[in-house]
Structure 1
Amino acid sequence: MKVYAGTDPISGKRNDLTETIPPGPAANREAQKALTRLLGQLDERRNPRTRATVGQLMDRYFEVLDVGETTIGTYEGYRRNHIDPLLGDLQLARLDGEVLDSFYADCRRCRAHCRPGRRAIDHRTDRPHSCDERCGPHRCRPLADSSISQIHGILSGALKRAVRWRWLGTNPLEAAQRPTPGRTDPHPPSAEQASAIATEAWHDLQWGMFVWLALVTGARRGELCALAWDRINFATGVIAIRSSIAQRGKKTWEKDTKTHQQRRITLDDLTVALLRAFLRHCTESAEGAGLTLPTDARIFSPVPDGSEWLKPDSVTQRYTRMCARLGWDMNLHELRHYSATELIAAGVDVRTVAGRLGHSGGGTTTLRVYSAWVSEADQRASSSLAGRMPVLPMGIETDGEMSAIAKPISETSAPYLRIAEDLRAAIRCGALKLGDRLPTVAELAKRYQVAISTAHRAVATLTEAGLIAVSRGRPATVAVEQLEPRPHEEPAGTAR
């Protein structure tokens, strides 16, 4: 059966919908059914209008795609390594949910798309070489979930265009299982590692300033490379992030930030002082070379007058080599994670952190990437709040029931309760009398080896009980006469 479906918009040739019916006594009836199906597809515009392949669709899609040069380079890599080898020659009319699910499954099996059961060698380079220990039997490694998710996004954009262009009647991607997006798992350096990294970097003044700003601001590498001196307001301590340096191969250029948003970051006093000193150093270096440092000179530059910027790839490679000397396998982007996690740990709200990092979505991205640290900060906040809650009145217990009788203080009681009980016992036995001065909060903290806040809470407990008097600028004193012993205690000096 053959039904005319118009002209192929790609080749300009006649486009027919065909279906072959096997011979037999029911051939005529089956042919009528096939004709009805084909005409239905044509009426509902579900039929493909072209015999174009996935590769031809990708060619056309990349021609009209409006993204940055670095992004298109990433897309071309995914297409070259994964889409074209498996789907490039397949006609769009034969692309369906089963084919796409099989494609994603193959990506999860092996990123090289090897043939199962076939022995192969993984060579260290594609160039002519003599094999050594770096070459060996092929081992299948799955493609990362985040990479499969990006491939899905490329196919989704192309197939949506194909439907709008009437190359396809329906989007076959709707019948496929959407790949699970990769979960972000940042690994920021610890405080000790960050200190060691900064110390190592300061052997070179410019490199040390670069790493320091990366730690403090959490800016991306391209944003740091694009910084200029006229973007720092030393009076207010604010630095403006307006652009970024992109790189593809050896080519570099200045562009908008990743989210196309400018932002301002407030710097601490130490960082401002370091930048002042570095500016003096750059000015002296330019004068020593017989040059003048312009106000819009790049802060980090390979030339004395700051007329050029550092290459992002070179910065990344230098950082990786520095960390390797320290015995760590780290990348420059982890300094951005360090800045974010330290801010969250310090109690800074997520929207402010998102603003400093340049995340779009009002903090949605920040919450998704740093959810574990946000949760940890929330737990610390609850602990801090519990330490500042009012003292429970006598007789109220927290073991699941209310008791009319207070439990005696023991070694397992909270530290502030033990301190308060010791002071109460000293008043009870007469060691501390009316008007006597109590040890200061600092002295109590040192004596009991607890935090200042814990000692302060012990004093507050006795103050609320009316046992001691506290006034601003004066030491705490005993406010009552000798206490009567508790029912379960014997009076002081009682002989057995």
Structure 2
Amino acid sequence: MAKNSPNRRQQGMVRKRGNSFQVIVYAGIDPVTGRKLHLRGSSTDEAEANRILRKLVAQVNAQRHAKTRASLQTTIEAWLDTHELAESTRETYVEYAANHIYPALGPEPLGRTTTHVLERFYAELRRCSRRCDGRPAVDHRLDGPHECREVRHKRPPGRPPAAGYPPHDCAEKACRVIECQPHTCRPLAVVPIHVVDGVVA
């Protein structure tokens, strides 16, 4: 087994698997999915595997110490403040950024918002505008505690009878039923991609 320094061992490792040496380097948390990211490599030569390890560790460190530490959200807000846009266009950009970009990537340093990260982010929005995890869910119509199914009964005009309203057939009376619906994935129809691309470029 290849021996690594304590710091390098924390970030990555080389392990023997069959006739090859596998290299695994921890690269942080994926801002899009929230899952751990690992860079990987392999070689049948142990010395080459250690060279791959050093290269991947250096790559991760360079990414972590990117020149700019400004967040993507701060940079987009500055871009919107300094670019001449029609008011309706600006409002659309602000809405898309607040609803889709900032929750997923807003706190990320600009230097870590790579093309690969953006491509996967756009792909998720094209799959589902809410970037769901694919499991069954409910699209609630209200925030906070509420009844997911509400029946608005049709009542005759005037004050309620002292004894209360008599039972009735909601279908016959065409009472209105309002309920939260099962989630259905819908792609985001329009994504102002060039806003993000413009500030990252």
C-alpha distance in 2, partners of 1:70/1:97? 28
* RMSD after superposition: 3.4
Are the counterparts in 1 of residues 76 and 195 from structure 2 also a CA contact under 8 Å?
A: no
2-side partners of 1:102 and 1:89: how far apart? 17
1:95 maps onto 2:116 in alignment = no
Return the alpha-carbon distance in structure 2 between the equivalents of residues 112 and 62 of structure 1: 24
Aligned-pair CA distance for 1:84: 1.1
The answer for unaligned runs of 5 or more in structure 1 is: 1-19, 42-46, 160-170, 172-496
Question: Within the alignment, does 1:79 sit opposite 2:120 as a pair?
Answer: no
1:103 and 1:92 mapped to 2: Cα distance?
A: 15
1:402 maps to: none
1:48 aligns with one of 34, 52, 66: 66
Q: Does 1:143 align with 2:143?
A: no
Aligned equivalent of 1:365: none
Q: Contact (CA 8 Å) 1:107, 1:142: kept in 2 or not?
A: yes
Are residues 1:66 and 2:84 paired? yes
Aligned residue for 2:141? 124
Please tell me whether the aligned partners of residues 109 and 141 of structure 1 are also in contact (alpha carbons under 8 angstroms): yes
Q: Map of 1:193-212 to 2, 5 A cutoff?
A: none
Aligned 8 A contact 2:66 2:112 in 1 = no
Structure 2: distance between partners of 1:51 and 1:30: 29
Q: Deviations over 1:43-88 (max 9, x none)?
A: xxxx832222212222322222221222211101110111112211
Q: Offset of 1:152 from its aligned partner?
A: 0.8
Taking the aligned partners of 1:129 and 1:68, their CA distance within structure 2 comes to 39
TM-score, reference length from structure 2: 0.51
Of Structure 1 and Structure 2, which has the larger fraction of its residues in strand? Answer: 2
Per-residue CA deviations over 1:21-49 (Å, capped at 9, x if unaligned) read 449996xx959x76xx78xx8xxxxx832
**In the alignment, structure 1 residue 158 sits paired with structure 2 residue 199:** yes
Higher RCO (CA 8 Å, separation ≥ 6 residues) = 2
CA distance in 2, matches of 1:65, 1:92: 19
CA distance in 2, matches of 1:134, 1:157: 41
Q: Deviations over 1:403-442 (max 9, x none)?
A: xxxxxxxxxxxxxxxxxxxxxxxxxxxxxxxxxxxxxxxx
Residue 158 of structure 1 and its aligned partner are, at CA, apart by: 1.9
Considering fraction of residues, name the structure with more helix: 1
In 2, Cα distance between the equivalents of 1:156 and 1:99? 12
Please give the residue correspondences for 1:451-462 in structure 2 after superposition, counting only pairs within 5 Å: none
Residue in 2 that maps onto 1:294:
none
What is the deviation of 1:114?
1.8
Aligned counterparts, 1:373-384, within 5 A: none
Q: Which runs of 5+ in 2 are unaligned?
A: 1-6, 14-45, 151-177
TM-score, structure 1 as length reference: 0.22
**Deviations, residues 192-235 of structure 1 (Å, cap 9, x unaligned):** xxxxxxxxxxxxxxxxxxxxxxxxxxxxxxxxxxxxxxxxxxxx
Equivalences for residues 165-244 of structure 1 within 5 A = 171=201
The structure that has the greater radius of gyration is 1
How many residue pairs align between the two structures? 125
Aligned partners of 1:21 and 1:30 also within 8 Å: no
Matches within 5 A, 1:362-401: none
Measured against aligned partners, the alpha-carbon deviations of 1:227-250 in whole angstroms (never above 9, x if no partner) come to xxxxxxxxxxxxxxxxxxxxxxxx
- Partners of 2:70 and 2:196 lie apart in 1 by 15
Letter aligned with residue 68 of structure 1: A
| 8 Å CA contact retained: 2:129, 2:188 | yes
Q: Distance in 1 between matches of 2:9 and 2:132?
A: 37
Alignment of 1:287-366 (within 5 A): none
SS at match of 1:113: coil
Letter in 2 for 1:94: R
User: Structure 1, residues 351-372: CA drift from partner, whole Å, max 9, x if none?
Assistant: xxxxxxxxxxxxxxxxxxxxxx
Partner secondary structure for residue 125 of structure 1: coil
- C-alpha distance in 1 between matches for 2:144 and 2:82: 34
* Letter of the 1:61 counterpart: W
C-alpha contact (below 8 Å) 1:54/1:90 kept by paired residues:
yes
